[in-house]
Amino acid sequence: MTGRFAAVALPLPIADPYTYRVPDTLADRAVRGARVVVPVRRQELVGIVLDPDADAPPGAVEAKPLLAMPDEPPVLTPSLLRTAEWIAGYYGAPIGLTLKAMLPGGLWGRSRAVVGLVATAGIRGGQAAAALAWLERRGGEGTVAALGRALGRPAWEVVDRLLRVGAVTLRIEPADTSADRATERVLALSEERPTLLERARIFGRAPRQRQLYEALEALGGASPVAHLRDRLKFGDGVMRGLVTRGLASVVDAERVRDPFAEDLGTPPPTALTPPQAAALDGLETLPAGEAALLFGVTGSGKTLVYLEAIRRAVAAGQGAIVLVPEIGLTPQTVSRVRGVFGDQVAVLHSALSDGERADAWRLVRRGERRVVVGARSAVFAPVSGLGVIVVDEEHEASYKNGETPRYHARDVAAVRARLEGARLILGSATPSLDTVAGPRPPERRLALPMRIGDRPLPPVEVVDLRDAPRVPGVGALPWSEALDGGVAEALGRGEQVLLLLNRRGFAAFLQCPDCGVVATCERCSISLTIHRNPSRLRCHYCGYAGAVPEDCAACGHAVQRMRGVGTQQLERMLAERFPTARLARMDLDTTSTKWAHHRILEAVGRGEVDLLLGTQMIAKGLDFPNVTLVGVVDADTALHLPDFRSAERTFQLLAQVAGRAGRGPKGGRVLIQTRNPEHHAIRWAARHDAEGFLAEELTLRRSPPYPPVVGLVNLVVSGNDEVAVGRSAARLAEWCEALVSTHNLALTVLGPAPCPLARIKDRWRWHVALKGDGRPLGQVVRYAARRFLGTRDPRVIIDRDPVSLL
């Protein structure tokens, strides 16, 4: 067959692009990175041109034609496309799925193609006139698919002809453009709040109402009725009960709108401190394309350094990307960026609809927004003239994508910076070992060793839970007199307290005191967590929720015991012990609604919360000067997980949460409760000594070798049949061994072994891991990507540089 052909990536799990014929009419616009509408089986999809001059398809296969090309210039810049190709190669992911992760959903895949009428003049007779007449009847626009139905034949050809003479426009928009409703019903507590004693009287015979009341309190005093009903399972009767008692009312509230859109931002401090100025000098002279680690203790003013570096780039006509671990948890950072760059900023966050996301992408692509702030996927923002990429809190595991393509945004940022000649700034008070001691350490290290105003880092006191005097009457809660006294004192002085307990729910698990059996999820090999408000046994992996059994499923013993405390239990205890303190709880259960994080953190910032308790969510980058005490209720929750990074995670969490204390003139202190005071993660965190920790941890990673001393690829096999999965894992290990010996690769094969979480959502899980240098690992990834693509049951996933081996 003759003519021109284009290779087109489609958002499907297939290894190779599809080949299409390029019709003459589209020939001049078919360039790399352009969006095209193509026929796929019986439907039309939007894909991306990878190669506009591809080979003809092999044999007698007849290539179908490209149907349309909606934009000019192409959506993807050449360097973004090369970044995608790097990801696909390095992580062993199909290029189509990689591009799918890169582009906003609304821009391709099952998008709608909409034709708009421009002019009818001069078009007479036939299909073209019929199409224009149809458009006119429809008020000027309609989808290509609907037009095809009206004409009784596919409409692409006629659309293309009309497009060329300028009679119509064509745009691709998200399949779903249904807008959110503008208002919603919210149940809000009244101003007058009963004390705990009064509550006992008021709610005597209405325990559900008390639960609802307390759930509302935990949610910051108000919550959408839909959330209370659908997620927390409170009935209408219970809600009416609170209203009848005058304790709450239902209000029609404007649906919470994007607070980032309205926030005018926080103005930055006016002058740099000498260490900040020195760090900036270091960035100025950093060669383009290279990375610098900004290693600054908590409260050292890293943000201002980022902002100033970006300001200089923008002044020189360039653009910038700021990555944050989770946008909801870092409103202060976003606000500070807004404060400097105002309308130049596009904030990309998960609550944007497909349409809003696509709009933001276009604004950035056209250069109408020069600075982009967002989580992981914002690393793909089509900023032109990219001058700076900032990765704030670079050690955070949330930068790693949990599905194909399993990319790490920090590492992608490094690749993109190199391709586009941008400077990469990796900021952290607790940098990852991967960054500090990995195969490509940052070109430069810039230190901010002191807090702003030379404030000291807060002293940390380690409370040994094995022998510390405990407060009686708090059940299973590890609650020492030292921590209790600290909280009482800080509250007494009108200061704020942060309490970290990295376990949500009420209690970690339910155990029979007679036979010892623990209630576990039927679909996952994990114990069920006890929740209150509503009372439920929940699986944190698959979302299963069931009633809390009265007696043991195994032996029938009548009384079951709760073990291990969670945030709900801590909250209940605190409410009883510090009845006048205004509490807020922040964990996955209180933050499931849009902007919930934002509301809680703003309340803390305005001084409306005295005691904020929560999971690791409260440890991230918050800057509240009135927080003088940080307490870690149980530092050991993640210390003994079977993962080589558990010590590093624990150190980072403790050092970060400790860094929230004493940021203002009143100073502050930190109390860490643990049963492992000798553990190096805890010892170094107590001294705020990240260098010390990194050095000791690195020696531990040498033998047996673990990243960053070696590279790691984890191949996970999963499926519904336990025996079949085990067998396939054995075959996978043999396949790896054979590959290693045939190609003489210097790699160690580990396993097969069951994953520590041996079953999730009814799928059994085994893994085989390979350790060694990047080059031979890359070879295995390439082979594995072809071999295991699209396998379903059992399925094999390739996780290169995994952040977790669970």
Nearer to Zn ion, 134 or 541 (CB): 541
Tokens matching residue 702: 């040498």
Among 134, 544, 644, 783, binds Zn ion (CB under 5 A): 544
Rule CB under 5 A: which of 522-541 touch Zn ion?
Answer: 523-524, 539, 541
Q: State the Cα–Cα distance between residues 362 and 356, nearest whole angstrom.
A: 10
> Which of 83, 300, 377, 430: binder of ligand ADP (CB under 6 A)?
300
Q: Which stretch binds Zn ion (CB under 5 A): 21-29, 86-94, 240-248, 515-523?
A: 515-523
User: Which residue, 523 or 577, is less far from Zn ion as judged by CB?
Assistant: 523
In 10 A of CB 777, how many CB atoms?
22
Q: Any idea which residue has 């849009």 for tokens?
A: 594
Q: Binding to ligand ADP by residue 335, rule CB under 6 A?
A: no
Based on C-alpha coordinates, what's the Rg of the chain? Answer: 29
Q: Give me the 128-167 binding string for ligand ADP, x by CB under 6 A, dash otherwise.
A: ----------------------------------------
Q: Under the criterion CB under 5 A, does residue 562 sit at the interface with Zn ion?
A: no
- Touching ligand ADP, residues 610-669 (CB under 6 A): 623
Any contact of residue 299 with ligand ADP (CB under 6 A)?
A: yes
- What, of ligand ADP, Zn ion, none, does residue 732 touch, CB below 5 to 8 Å by kind? none
500: which 2 tokens? Answer: 């970290």
Of these, 452, 526, 553, 581, which contacts ligand ADP (CB under 6 A)? 452
CB nearer to ligand ADP: give 73 or 342.
342
List Cβ neighbours of 803 (8 Å cut-off, separation of 6 or more): 397, 400, 408, 645
| Cβ closest to ligand ADP, residue 583 vs residue 627 | 627
Q: For residue 28, how many other CB atoms are within 10 A of its CB?
A: 9
Nearer to ligand ADP by C-beta: 298 or 527?
298
SS3 category, 415: helix
Nearer to ligand ADP (CB atom), residue 426 or residue 733: 426
Q: Find, among 6, 453, 409, 483, the residue nearest to 274 by Cα.
A: 453
Of the pair 401, 656, the CB lying nearest ligand ADP is at: 656
656 binds, among Zn ion, ligand ADP, none (CB under 5 to 8 A by kind): none
Stretch that binds Zn ion, among 134-142, 206-214, 473-481, 517-525 (CB under 5 A): 517-525
Task: Provide, rounded to whole angstroms, the least separation between the CB of residue 765 and Zn ion.
Answer: 13
| Minimal distance, residue 376 CB to ligand ADP, in Å | 19
544 binds, among Zn ion, ligand ADP, none (CB under 5 to 8 A by kind): Zn ion
Q: Are 425 and 289 in contact (CB under 8 A)?
A: no
Q: In whole angstroms, give the CA distance from residue 687 to residue 677.
A: 12
Positive/negative CA dihedral, 178, 179, 185, 187:
positive
Residue 303's binding partner among ligand ADP, Zn ion, none (Cβ under 5 to 8 angstroms by kind) is ligand ADP
Q: Which residues pair with 400 in a beta bridge?
A: 408
Site for Zn ion in 304-333 (CB under 5 A): none
Q: How far apart are CA 221 and CA 192, in angstroms?
A: 11
List residues bridging with 115 in a β-sheet. Answer: 142, 170
Nearest approach in angstroms of CB 527 to Zn ion is 10
How far is CA 621 from each of CA 207, 299, 329, 330, 392, rounded to the nearest angstrom? Answer: 38, 9, 8, 7, 9
Q: Report how many residues bind ligand ADP under the rule CB under 6 A.
A: 15
Check residue 298 for interaction with ligand ADP (CB under 6 A).
Answer: yes
Element (H, E) at 718: strand 711-719
Q: How far apart are CA 549 and CA 555, in angstroms?
A: 13
Query: Considering only CA atoms, which of 102, 620, 83, 88 is closest in space to residue 378?
Result: 102
When CB distances are held under 5 to 8 angstroms depending on the partner's kind, the choice from ligand ADP, Zn ion, none that residue 401 binds is: none
Count residues binding Zn ion (CB under 5 A): 7
- CA gap 565, 76 in Å, rounded: 49
Q: Which is nearer to ligand ADP, 304 or 465 (CB)?
A: 304
Q: Is 521 in the site for Zn ion (CB under 5 A)?
A: yes
Nearer to ligand ADP, 362 or 455 (CB): 455
- The window from 44-52, 309-317, 485-493, 513-521 that contacts Zn ion (CB under 5 A) reads 513-521
Where does 298-343 show beta strands of DSSP type E? 319-323
Unique residue bearing structure tokens 């895949």: 109
Mask for 10-49, x = binds Zn ion (CB under 5 A): ----------------------------------------
CB 213, CB 203: distance < 8 Å: yes
In the bound state with ligand ADP, the residue whose beta carbon lies nearer, of 571 and 623, is: 623
302 is an interface residue for ligand ADP by CB under 6 A: yes
- Work out how close the CB of 604 gets to ligand ADP at its nearest, in angstroms, rounded to a whole number: 14
The torsion region of residue 613 among left (phi > 0), alpha (psi -120 to 50) and beta comes to beta
Is the CB of 338 or the CB of 538 nearer to ligand ADP? 338
CB of 767 to Zn ion, least distance (A): 19
State the residue for tokens 């901010």.
448
**CA 774 to each of CA 87, 91, 607, 655, 711: distance values in angstroms, whole numbers, following the listed order:** 14, 11, 50, 31, 6
Exactly one of 40, 145, 272, 724 binds ligand ADP (CB under 6 A); that residue is: 272
Minimum Å gap between C-beta 665 and ligand ADP is: 12
Determine phi and psi for 258, rounding to 5 degrees: -55, 105
Nearer to ligand ADP, 265 or 774 (CB): 265
- Cβ of 3: how many Cβ atoms within 10 Å? 12
Nearer to ligand ADP by Cβ, of 277 and 288: the residue is: 277
When the beta carbons of 543 and 607 are compared against Zn ion, the nearer one is: 543
Candidate list 151, 278, 542, 750; residue touching Zn ion; CB under 5 A: 542
Residue 539 touches which of ligand ADP, Zn ion, none (CB < 5 to 8 A by kind)?
Zn ion
What is the C-alpha separation between 399 and 374, in angstroms, rounded?
A: 11
CB 595 within 8 A of CB 623: no
Cβ closest to Zn ion, residue 539 vs residue 601: 539
Which stretch, 183-191, 293-301, 341-349, 484-492, contacts ligand ADP (CB under 6 A)?
Answer: 293-301
Stretch that binds ligand ADP, among 87-95, 206-214, 257-265, 297-305 (CB under 6 A): 297-305
Least distance (Å) from Zn ion to the CB of residue 403?
A: 18
The answer to whether residue 271 forms part of the interface with ligand ADP (CB under 6 A) is: yes
The nearest distance, CB 417 to ligand ADP, in angstroms, is 21
Q: Among 296, 458, 708, 711, which residue sits at the site for ligand ADP (rule: CB under 6 A)? A: 296
With 0-12 / 13-18 / 19 or more C-beta atoms within 10 angstroms meaning exposed / middle / buried, residue 550 is exposed
Q: Name the residue nearer to Zn ion (CB basis): 247 or 519.
A: 519
Pick out residues in 386-425 that bind ligand ADP (CB under 6 A).
none
Sequence-distant (6+) residues with CB within 8 A of 313 are 319, 320, 387, 388, 423
Provide the minimum distance between the beta carbon of 623 and ligand ADP in the complex, in angstroms, as a whole number: 4
Q: Give the alpha-carbon dihedral of 613, 616, 618, 622, to 10 degrees.
A: 160
Q: Could you tell me the two tokens for 445?
A: 């290290």
Contact of 461 with 671, CB cutoff 8 Å: yes
Residue 351 Cα distances to 84, 347, 405, 784, angstroms = 24, 11, 21, 35
Residues forming the site for ligand ADP (CB under 6 A): 269, 271-273, 276, 296, 298-304, 452, 623
Residues forming the site for Zn ion (CB under 5 A): 521, 523-524, 539, 541-542, 544
